[in-house]
Amino acid sequence: MPKVKDICRHVRTKNAGPFWVTVDFFYKDFDAYKEYKDSEDLGPDLFARLFGTDPTSIKRIPVDSLHMVKVSYVRPNAQAWKGERDMHSGQSFARLLDIDVRPSTSEGAV
């Protein structure tokens, strides 16, 4: 089964204000994007498990023209809280690279 690092040419995480983090999955090409963009393996449950966020707050935005998916989630604590280890969330993407990803189950048009 391919991993995120196998199907994406670039994955980045970034601060989206003091209460949100955004993850960008840039797929290697259109075919990879079409096959994996709606994979349940990159759904709300993953972000809840890895980042401690509320799965009902996940925002998922596919960007067909760039072959990428943007996922935003609420930080469990506001930016710069006392135990902060990555204030800008620039290193959070590393936890996602080795996640196994199955193809999307839906056959939606792109």
Residues 30-72 have pLDDT tens digits of: 999 999 999 999 999 999 999 999 999 999 999 999 999 999 9
| More confident site: 4 or 94 | 4
> To which residue do tokens 């902060």 refer?
84
Pairwise CA distance, residues 28 & 66, whole Å: 10
Structure confidence at residue 87 (pLDDT): 60
Q: How confident is the model at residue 109 (pLDDT cuts 50, 70, 90)?
A: very low
Please check whether residue 3 is in contact with residue 28, taking contact to mean a CB–CB distance below 8 angstroms: no
Structure confidence at residue 2 (pLDDT): 96
pLDDT at 89 over 80: no
Total-model pTM = 0.87
| More confident site: 57 or 79 | 57
